[in-house]
Structure 1
Amino acid sequence: MAEEKTAREKNEAAKQQADVKPAVVDFTDLTKKNQDYMFHLDKELDQRKYAQKNEALSKVHAELLEKQKTGIVATKLYGPVTKKADEIIAGPKKPAKIPTLWEMALDNGLMMFALFCAMYAIFGVFSKNSNQTNAGIITLIATSVVAGIGLGYFYRQMLGQQKQRNWGRVILNVIILVAAWMAVFGLVGIIPPSVNVVLPPVAYATLAIIAFAVRIYVKKRLDIPNPADLARQTNDNNKK
């Protein structure tokens, strides 16, 4: 019985060893810089006691072996070793979400509305003639809507892959949007002051605060990233 038990234990131990993947230690097919990077990445994952280290190193090794054919080094492809280790442990990043035109138009429209309200509040305090038609509430709303749509379109065009951008078309559309904004501003200017009411500075300041708070809520609710962050994520994805 003892001999059978010992044999069974040896078989189980052998089976467990067979299931364990061998450590990835041979990076001799990489360049010296890439070998050094993989060595430190191996050490970093060891220090963090990452269970799937061997599998992760195998994937990085295979990808790096292919990329180095075009002269790319690991530090340029992955960044610092600690950053790559963080990405491996945290798992793959979700692809960057590009908001729809109307989401970006809403976000930018609220931003412009808040800025215009703050500007009107300041002008209302320091301007002697505070009843100017071009400072009316209808002017503010109309120009904010047009500016929001224009900026939303512009950002979406800039977030496309560079090879797919038709710069001539982008510039033409931007010119059209600027012309539309100026036309709306001019048309609203003929609306009589009795309709295009100029609010007191305090009211504009209050609207600016409300618009800013609503924008923060909308960004969180719709998960709208900042254009700069979104552009950086999109460019990183396009490089891969």
Structure 2
Amino acid sequence: MSEKKEKRQLTKKNEEFIFQFKKHLAKSGKLDAEQIEKVVVEVEDELLATQHTGRTAQQLYGTPTLAVQKYLDPKRHAKKLHDFGFLPLAIDTILVIFMLFAFVFGVTLFFSKENNAGAGILSLLTIAILGGTVYTYALLKLTPNPDEQKPTVNKGKRWLFLAGAIVVWLLGFVIVGIMPPIINPTLPPIAYIILGALAYGGFYYNRQKNGLKGNGFFAIGQLSNQSRFEAQQKNNQK
């Protein structure tokens, strides 16, 4: 009912623009019915918000054909943070952390004369797995979803939750770091380099499989920033 009411509020010229725009979107065959409806609603909302100022659809978008080209830009329809789900993002973050620390451990041990217990394999796994899962869970929980009705997250709650996640990660790392070498053995430097290279292979495969490529080294961080920006824009339009 609300959508029908909004359509009746459009001027005749804007209604005709929406009609042509929707027809060209469907003709393109690049979006499914749900995606088309979502794009049309977005354009309608923009027209409803600006038509009282005298700005027409043509002034905002040009012709319906140009508007379609704009909305078919792959970047506009790339998956967002909350579209991926926990597992692909957690695996991505775990592998990134594992790679970084594996190479750091390997290079450091090449120049170290002591067998550093803090660079044990269990320490590496704890840093990566605990850090990756906690960080991913925290960002998914605390990043507003711009597609929801109220895309806001309480700032105080966000910082408190994130601080708690960091504390959990550090505690886990400290506990593992003080374990005896028999439980947390330090591998030869070359072993860490090899493990880092293997982790990169898994990282690359996960990116390709789940469509995470092009989202920066720490994909979840960039996706979170994009979602917060879009949510802020949506709130400013209200």
TM-score (norm 2): 0.63
Matches within 5 A, 1:211-226: 211-224=199-212, 226=219
Aligned with residue 196 of structure 1, among 170, 184, 194: 184
| Residue of structure 2 in register with 1:66 after alignment | 48
Please, which moves more after superposition, 61-70 or 119-128?
Answer: 61-70
Q: What SS is found at the alignment partner of 1:175? A: helix
Q: Contact 2:24/2:68 (CA < 8 Å) preserved in 1? A: no
Give the CA deviation at 1:229.
4.7
Q: Per the alignment, do residues 89 and 222 of structure 1 end up closer, same or farther by CA in structure 2, a change over 3 Å counting?
A: closer
1:1-48 Cα deviation digits (max 9, x unpaired): xxxxxxxxxxxxxxxxxxxxxxxxxx9978xxxxxxx9xxx9xx9xxx
Q: 1:82/1:124 Cα in 2 relative to 1: closer, same or farther (>3 Å)?
A: farther
User: How many angstroms does 1:219 deviate by?
Assistant: 2.2
**2:105/2:189 contact within 8 Å kept:** yes
How far, CA to CA, are the matches of 2:60 and 2:224 in structure 1? 19
Q: CA deviation at 1:175?
A: 1.2
Aligned CA-pair RMSD: 4.3
Deviations 1:141-177 (A, max 9, x none): 0111111012202331224347430222221111111
Q: Compare 118-127 and 163-172 and name the one that shifted more.
A: 163-172
Instruction: Report the equivalent of 1:144.
Output: 128
* Code of the aligned partner of 2:104: M
Identify the residue that residue 193 of structure 2 maps to in structure 1: 205
Give the conservation status (yes or no) of the 8 Å contact 2:143–2:228.
no
After superposition, the Cα gap between the structure-2 partners of 1:169 and 1:210, relative to the gap in structure 1 and judged at 3 Å, is same
CA displacement 1:111-167 (0-9 Å, x = unmatched): 1011110110121122232x1110000001011111101220233122434743022
Taking the aligned partners of 2:188 and 2:54, their CA distance within structure 1 comes to 60
> Structure 1 residues 63 and 150 mapped into 2: Cα distance closer, same or farther (>3 Å)?
closer
Q: What code does the residue aligned with 2:194 have?
A: T
Which residue number corresponds to residue 169 of structure 1? 157
Q: In the alignment, is residue 117 of structure 1 matched against residue 117 of structure 2?
A: no
Q: CA deviation at 1:90?
A: 7.0
Distance 1:142 1:62, change over 3 A: closer
Deviation at 1:202, TM superposition (A): 1.0
Partner of 2:111: 126
How far 1:188 moved relative to its partner? 0.7
Larger Rg: 1
How far apart are the structure 2 equivalents of 1:177 and 1:72?
50
How far apart in 1 are the matches of 2:227 and 2:54? 20
* Cα contact 2:98–2:124 (8 A) shared by 1: yes
Flag the 1:206–1:87 CA change in 2: closer, same or farther, 3 A.
Answer: same
- Give per-residue Cα distances to partners, 1:43-62, cap 9 Å, x unaligned: xx9xxxxx949x99xx7996
Code of the residue aligned with 1:98 in structure 2: it is D
Q: Which whole-Å CA distance do the structure 2 matches of 1:90 and 1:234 have between them?
A: 21
**1:8-87 aligned within 5 A:** 52=24, 65-69=47-51, 84-87=67-70
Name 2:3's counterpart in structure 1: none
**Structure 2 CA distance for partners of 1:233 and 1:166, relative to 1, 3 Å:** closer
Gap regions ≥5 residues in structure 2:
1-10, 29-39
SS at match of 1:164: coil
Cα distance change, pair 122–144 in 1 and its aligned pair in 2 (3 A): same
